[in-house]
Amino acid sequence: MAESVNEEKIVKSEDEWLQELPEDVFNIVRKKGTERAFTGKYEKFYEPGEYHCRCCGALLFHSDTKYDSGSGWPSFYDANMSNIEEKTDVSWMMQRTEIICRQCDAHLGHVFEDGPQPTGLRYCVNSASLSFKDKE
């Protein structure tokens, strides 16, 4: 899955993002917050299509890699790594791997090594960081 939106980084000020995003979404994607488990729009959503970055439209995940992890957040076992960057996150007195949008630096969630095969990965993503496009 190597599809990219563009090669240039999208850079906006905090005020510009605040004007474009609802406050709850801003707190998740720009301030590295999270939505409460089992409350996100896409947590129990399984329509065919693509999941894109809410902030910039970069393709992140395909619906055929989405599964019910029981974690309370949308989970995927594979990702479009040309649009996702991984960073070490040591917040909350633990070490995790944060995933962010490579195009605009939006916080998406975290990736864990407890997912199903074939990858063994679980991309645990906030619904607020995603937009969905139906399969055409």
- Tokens, residue 116: 């199903």
Does the annotation mark 53 as catalytic?
A: no
Which residues lie below 8 Å from residue 11, measured CB to CB, with a gap of 6+? Answer: none
Torsion of CA 21, 27, 45, 37, to 10 degrees: -160
Please pick, among 55, 101, 104, 124, the residue that the annotation labels catalytic. 124
Report the chain's terminal Cα–Cα distance, integer Å: 18
| Edge-to-edge strand ranges of the sheet holding 130-134 | 59-62, 49-53, 130-134
Catalytic residues: 124
